[in-house]
Structure 1
């Protein structure tokens, strides 16, 4: 994704993210708003991270998964969902959590994003998958649904399905995940500016704006 309004050297932004991470979509939307406000020229590159690499192919109920993984009771889970929903509302993203919301294995999604990058559609697909996951509650454990979403952003559906069936980019995704671990990245979202400055977590529009200003001052 590129913004070419400015003639300055684009700011290189690497985002390590997982589709199943609600704060990843919130953080991206906050960053995007800050980039728009500051009229910063930029290019974004998405990189895979799996919060639940051992998730079964069929996925699990999100509430049950959260209770077991994080030791949360129903009240704590609901409070967390309310915080996410409020944070999403502030940046124009709708979370639709319900009793049937599921958490999915995201490895196939990362393969599709890697493939989509060859057509400069990685960011489009990333955003479509966030919406499919958190807003529309689509069954992202189903390869045919993933292929449908790829087609919705302009990719070839048949090829998307083939990419998933033959696990074409499995090795590349695994290697990218290993690079992230070697960099010490243990949580997402993690944003790296110009290969040097690493920021973790959803920082908020104001903080991202300040970061962008500091980076601009450094480049002057």
Structure 2
């Protein structure tokens, strides 16, 4: 009999370690197979909630926020690219030069969950930003991606043009901040076990199997 597991994946679509963590988690879930029935939910987290609409140059942003030098940034980007490639995800660093506000993307993801398309939209938004270098703040880009994953683009346009789901997203963000989540990805299993960061697939698999034995 399959063990039921709830996973809350707290993340931002502009976080490279979040897509690395997700791809690793997906591989771990595949390895577990029919031993578990996984109920996966994506929860919002904004790395840069006060980011201006036009975004900011990535190198400038990293230098301001983390004190990162150009050499450190280049080294980190190559490490991220390599980890992504190992997991079958393309980081096209040459196309991505800015970082953006992601609040509207989170509002769309909240709605997509009610339509059973949240996982597909989440992955597509990661690809939009990291593989194609497009802005996840752009309503035009968000609508195109929504249509590509089977969502109603007219309804998506209505949501983006309004403040629909803004209160729900902010409430959820506040909840996880109050739970001590200050960095992402944060993977919460059965609402009590926390795994932080873009861990390798075997780390997720080992943790999930251990939790499955605990009843």
Q: Tell me if TM exceeds 0.5.
A: yes
In structure 2, what is the Cα distance between the partners aligned to 1:139 and 1:214? 39
Superimposed CA distance per residue, residues 134-192 of structure 1 (whole angstroms, 9 cap, x where no aligned partner): 00111322211111111110011121111011021110000000000111111100011
Superimposed CA distance per residue, residues 66-96 of structure 1 (whole angstroms, 9 cap, x where no aligned partner): 1221111111100010110011011000101
Within the alignment, does 1:25 sit opposite 2:19 as a pair?
A: yes
In structure 1, what is the Cα distance between the partners aligned to 2:58 and 2:94? 9
Please tell me whether the aligned partners of residues 96 and 132 of structure 2 are also in contact (alpha carbons under 8 angstroms): no
Q: Could you say what the CA RMSD is over the residues aligned between the two structures, in angstroms?
A: 1.2
Question: Which secondary structure does the structure 2 equivalent of 1:55 belong to?
Answer: coil
Deviation at 1:100, TM superposition (A): 5.1
Within the alignment, does 1:161 sit opposite 2:154 as a pair?
A: no
Please tell me whether the aligned partners of residues 95 and 133 of structure 2 are also in contact (alpha carbons under 8 angstroms): no
Please tell me whether the aligned partners of residues 27 and 189 of structure 1 are also in contact (alpha carbons under 8 angstroms): yes
Please tell me whether the aligned partners of residues 17 and 189 of structure 1 are also in contact (alpha carbons under 8 angstroms): yes
Deviation at 1:109, TM superposition (A): 0.3
In structure 1, what is the Cα distance between the partners aligned to 2:95 and 2:32? 40
1:1-220 matches, within 5 Å, as 7-39=1-33, 40-98=36-94, 101-219=97-215
Count of aligned residue pairs for this structure pair: 213
Please tell me whether the aligned partners of residues 111 and 165 of structure 2 are also in contact (alpha carbons under 8 angstroms): yes
- Normalising by structure 2, report the TM-score: 0.96
In structure 1, what is the Cα distance between the partners aligned to 2:14 and 2:138? 15
In structure 1, what is the Cα distance between the partners aligned to 2:17 and 2:102? 16
Structure 1 residue runs of 5 or longer lacking an equivalent are 1-6
Structure 2 residue runs of 5 or longer lacking an equivalent are none
Please tell me whether the aligned partners of residues 96 and 134 of structure 2 are also in contact (alpha carbons under 8 angstroms): no
